[in-house]
Amino acid sequence: MEKFYITTAIDYVNGAPHIGHAYEKILTDIIARHYTQRCDDVYFLTGTDEHGIKIQKTAAAQGITPKELCDMNAQKFKDAWKALDIDYKKFIRTTDEDHEKIVQKIFDKLLKQGDIYKHSYEGLYCQGCECFLNPKDLTEDGLCPDHLKKPEVVKEENYFFKLTKYKDILIKYIKEHPDFIVPQFRANEVLNQLEDIQDISVSRAKSNVQWGIDVLSDSEQSIYVWIDALSNYITALGFDTENPSDTFKKYWPADVHVIGKDILKFHSIYWPAFLMALDLPLPKHIFAHGWITIDESKMSKSLGNVISPTSVLESFNLEHPDAFRYYMASSAPCGRDGNYSDDDFKEKVNAHLANSMGNLLNRTLSMLVKYFDGEVKPEFKGENPLAKKALGTVQIVKNHFDNFEIAEASLEIISLVDAANKYVQDNAPWTLAKEEKMIECGQVLTNVLDIMCIICALIYPYCPNITADMARQLSFNLKTKLDDLTADNIKTGKLISKEDIKPVFLRVDSELADKSQKK
């Protein structure tokens, strides 16, 4: 694998980030970090989606300009991603000047080649979705099924994109590429939607929507937000209709667009059609994750249960985001909805990260110090009964990541931790020491530490801070590529002194957590 280009959805900036946005960025960061362990060149893009009627109205309601609103909220997203250790390479804002210019050129090209045409239109527009809805998709009460709001009747002369021209070729493409849409069960939904697809409006009258990119050849119209937003995936790399940059040539097509299930239609129908019209290759995968609920209910401003990711870190007094990252990433099987609850969070991270993984390392190193002054003697090295399972787990984890099964991969890693714990329990090195079987005792400890290095590498994408501490105590190089991992990682000689042993993850303090007030 020479390069890996991965993107997230770009978030609307009419509010601050919540843990649903965070879930996606965490998943993406974990996938990106996993692939840095397999390939040298990973490009991770995220950003914010800043145009459209929703932003225009929110800004007006707050008595500020749309640009002021965007600047203020884009910064909140950047701050949140920093707090969560989201290690993106580029953060694109759709108000970036170079993005706006290229979007105008893209629109102009499609117009000139006849993929876009002008047409008078009356339709039902949902501001939440920023798109026209098909009357047959509304609820019985005539509401948008996602936002439960009545769409407004909009009558305008708009530009339209000839989506119908690409219908058959798209259906064929999706059928012939079963791994294009992940998880596969979503592909059928998309194929159904494609059956009654219409040409789509790709501009709005400036008299109604001022906060948008102008159509180059028509100052009365602004470019519809989804053409603008979706193009970020190529403009960020320096795409140009005439002279695409070397960066673009190197990274496009994307290896995966990570998005939520609610915007799959835009990514698996509109976006591929735009790309075909531009004569560009399609992304390799569209991975649609599920939604995060809070205590099993939908997060919404009206229910007052919107949680910001940084408030979780603060209320549990976490020194780094690893536990939250781990919890969110393992909250749901691939593509399914997940849930956040304070109690479940405490229980899971205490059980997995503190009790199982952290304690295992701590206990093993402490015994190495107690019985051998922290030294691994050459005679402790030999056949390791855990090696087969550990190296097998590396392969299984890689396979899961290839299918974007991030929670499934985490379960495999924890099952390796459990196996190592069981091995310690079964072989009781403390009894061996009492019986003065010192070589056997040293072998058991060394076997566990060798496997701990593999665990450390595998869990690194989820918990970059905890694993940095683990790696330091194990003298393990965290930059080791997964394919170079063996079961022989611990060097012989002095490994650690008593004062250098420290717990890598402290149990989340339940009293503190109970007292916490989430904003």
Q: Is 237 in the site for ligand MSP (CB under 6 A)?
A: no
Q: Of 4, 5, 12, 401, which lies in the binding site for ligand MSP, with binding defined by CB under 6 A?
A: 12
Given the residues 51, 78, 129, 267, select the one marked as catalytic: 129
Active site residue 18: yes
| Residue of 281, 404, 253 lying closest to 336 (CA atoms) | 404
In the complex, the smallest distance separating the C-beta of residue 11 from ligand MSP, rounded to whole angstroms, is: 4
Residue closer to ligand MSP by CB (options 254, 292) is: 292
Residues 6+ positions from 460 with CB-CB distance below 8 Å: 33, 37, 467, 478
Return phi, psi of residue 176, to 5°: -80, -15
For residue 513, count other CB atoms closer than 10 A to its CB. Answer: 16
Residue closer to ligand MSP by CB (options 9, 202) is: 9
Q: What is the DSSP letter of 435?
A: T
Binding segment toward ligand MSP, per CB under 6 A, in 21-29, 79-87, 154-162, 192-200:
21-29
| Residue of 85, 87, 79 lying closest to 36 (CA atoms) | 87
**Which of helix, strand or coil describes residue 221?**
strand
Q: Of 16, 227, 299, 471, which lies in the binding site for ligand MSP, with binding defined by CB under 6 A?
A: 299
Q: Is 262 in the site for ligand MSP (CB under 6 A)?
A: yes
Packed helices 387-402 and 438-459: angle between N→C axes, nearest 10 degrees: 0
Packed helices 406-427 and 359-372: angle between N→C axes, nearest 10 degrees: 30
Given the residues 101, 147, 150, 284, select the one marked as catalytic: 147
Strand partners, 258: 8, 287
| Residue of 334, 312, 307, 476 lying closest to 403 (CA atoms) | 334
Binding segment toward ligand MSP, per CB under 6 A, in 20-28, 163-171, 348-356, 455-463:
20-28
| CB closest to ligand MSP, residue no | 260
Kindly identify the residues of this chain, within the stretch 278-297, that bind ligand MSP according to CB under 6 A: 291-292
Cβ atoms 149, 129 nearer than 8 A: no
Q: How many helices (H) and strands (E) does the chain have?
A: 21, 18
Is the peptide bond between 464 and the residue preceding it cis, with omega within 30 degrees of 0?
no
Q: Is 263 in the site for ligand MSP (CB under 6 A)?
A: yes
Kindly identify the residues of this chain, within the stretch 438-457, that bind ligand MSP according to CB under 6 A: none
In the complex, the smallest distance separating the C-beta of residue 329 from ligand MSP, rounded to whole angstroms, is: 12
Given the residues 34, 78, 99, 144, select the one marked as catalytic: 144
What is the x/- site pattern for ligand MSP, positions 206-235, by CB under 6 A? -----------------------xx-x---
Residue closer to ligand MSP by CB (options 73, 447) is: 73
Longest dimension (CA), the chain: 90
Active site residue 463: no
Q: Residue 47: what residue type?
A: G
Cβ atoms 272, 170 nearer than 8 A: yes
Q: Of 4, 5, 6, 10, which lies in the binding site for ligand MSP, with binding defined by CB under 6 A?
A: 10
Given the residues 34, 99, 126, 400, select the one marked as catalytic: 126
Return phi, psi of residue 294, to 5°: -110, 125
In the complex, the smallest distance separating the C-beta of residue 25 from ligand MSP, rounded to whole angstroms, is: 9
Active site residue 131: no
Residue closer to ligand MSP by CB (options 121, 291) is: 291
Given the residues 162, 298, 377, 381, select the one marked as catalytic: 298
Q: Is 63 exposed, middle or buried (0-12, 13-18, 19+ CB in 10 A)?
A: exposed
Would you please indicate which residues are annotated as catalytic (active-site) residues? 18, 21, 126, 129, 144, 147, 298, 301
Q: Which residues bind ligand MSP (CB under 6 A)?
A: 9-12, 20-21, 23-24, 49, 229-230, 232, 259-260, 262-263, 291-292, 299
